[in-house]
């Protein structure tokens, strides 16, 4: 196994154990508001610290980009991108859809990815050029050739309410073409589900790098594609993402493009 992947797995499982311990005490947790509809608990912070401790013990010169503690510079061109608890709102309500997301990139190219669902003990992993796995078994994106009959994942732009009208227009036109839509509330896990074929495709507005870094590599290694709303590769910059197999991605892009405002046309 790739040594860096092994470290990421160790860190994700350690964070997952902390999250599960905190689940039963969630009503007693200290919760802070970071922004509009954006919450953080002591579980998020403690899980992130445990991840960083594992990584820095193995790779003390690597840079860190983490949701709660921000950016830490390193002496090498490696950067770990960490979301210790993706789906905090679900976690705080006891809604069982949240995950740990850890990725490593070298010179801006993703090399290692882990998305871990601690409740189901499902571990999604990928190393560049070595495929993607779920609990050690190879996974592939859906082979569905069109949106007809497709199950598509999405996320509401709850932090970016200036895009609500455009998003609802996308939602309406998409719903008319697919079998159904899903909005579970953990983008990292949604992307892992695209990689494993549980969702045929996915789109969302306004994600952060830590929401999608691991998931994008999982999808690429599982035979899928990821793009921004312009069909390019600036999704880390724009936060706007589409994912699926090549035909599904193209179909989603063609479906939502007429609904895009100028601010979203990239």
User: Based on the domain organization, do 134 and 9 belong to the same domain?
Assistant: yes
Same domain, 254 and 195: yes
The predicted pLDDT at position 3 comes to 95
* pLDDT at 175 exceeding the cut of 60: yes
**Same-domain check for residues 35 and 99:** yes
Q: Are residues 131 and 155 in the same domain?
A: no
Q: Residues 7, 128: one domain? A: yes
CATH code of 109's domain? 3.30.540.10
Burial of residue 26 (CB within 10 Å: 0-12, 13-18, 19+) is middle
Whole-number Cα distances in Å, 134 to 39, 62, 140, 197, 248: 29, 27, 10, 11, 22
Collect all residues with Cβ–Cβ distance below 8 Å to 20 and sequence separation of at least 6: 118, 119
Assign 83 to helix, strand or coil: strand
C-alpha triplet 211, 63, 193: angle, nearest 5°: 25
Structure tokens at 109: 């190219």
Domain that holds residue 33: 3-138
111 domain residue, yes or no: yes
What is this structure's pTM?
0.94
101 located within any domain? yes
pLDDT in tens, 186-231: 999 999 999 999 999 999 999 999 999 999 999 999 999 999 999 9
Task: Check whether residue 134 and residue 207 sit in a common domain.
Answer: no
Residue 145 in any domain: the answer is: no
Rounded to the nearest integer, the mean pLDDT of the chain is 93
Domain presence at residue 144: no
In terms of domains, do 71 and 160 share one?
no
- Buried b / exposed e across 123-155, counting CB within 10 Å, b at 16+? bbbbbbeeebbbeeeebebbebeebeebbbbbb
Same domain, 127 and 166: no
Per residue in 51-70, pLDDT (tens digit) is 999 999 999 999 999 987 77
pLDDT value, residue 39: 55
* 40, 126: one domain: yes
- Is 37 a residue whose pLDDT tops 90? no
29, 133: one domain = yes
Q: Is residue 146 situated within a structural domain?
A: no
**CATH of residue 174:** 3.40.190.80
How many structural domains does the chain have? 2
pLDDT at res. 59: 96
Determine, yes or no, domain membership for 183. Answer: yes
Same domain, 131 and 172: no
- Same-domain pairing of 129 and 199: no
């Amino acid at each position: 196994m790739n040594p860096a992947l092994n470290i990421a797995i160790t860190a994700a499982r350690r964070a997952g154990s902390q999250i599960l311990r905190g689940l039963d005490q969630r009503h007693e947790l200290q919760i802070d508001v970071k922004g509009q509809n954006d919450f953080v608990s002591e579980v998020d912070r403690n899980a992130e610290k445990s991840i960083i401790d594992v990584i820095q013990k193995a790779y003390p010169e690597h840079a860190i980009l983490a949701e709660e503690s921000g950016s830490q510079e390193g002496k090498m061109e490696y950067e770990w991108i960490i979301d210790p608890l993706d789906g905090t709102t679900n976690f705080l309500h006891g809604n069982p859809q949240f995950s740990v997301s850890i990725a490593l990139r070298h010179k801006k190219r993703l090399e290692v990815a882990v998305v871990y669902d601690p409740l189901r003990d499902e571990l999604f992993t990928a190393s560049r050029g070595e495929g993607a796995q779920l609990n050690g078994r190879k996974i592939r994106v859906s082979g569905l050739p069109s949106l007809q009959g497709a199950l598509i994942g999405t996320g509401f732009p709850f932090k970016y309410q200036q895009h609500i009208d455009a998003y609802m227009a996308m939602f309406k036109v998409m719903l008319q073409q697919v079998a159904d839509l899903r909005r579970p509330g953990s983008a990292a896990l949604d992307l892992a589900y695209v990689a494993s074929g549980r969702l045929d495709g996915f789109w969302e507005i306004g994600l952060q790098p830590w929401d999608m870094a691991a998931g994008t590599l999982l999808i690429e290694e599982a035979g899928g594609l990821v793009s921004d709303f312009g069909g390019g590769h600036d999704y880390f910059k724009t936060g706007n993402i589409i994912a699926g197999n090549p035909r599904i991605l193209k179909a989603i892009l063609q479906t939502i493009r007429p609904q895009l405002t100028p601010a979203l046309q990239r």
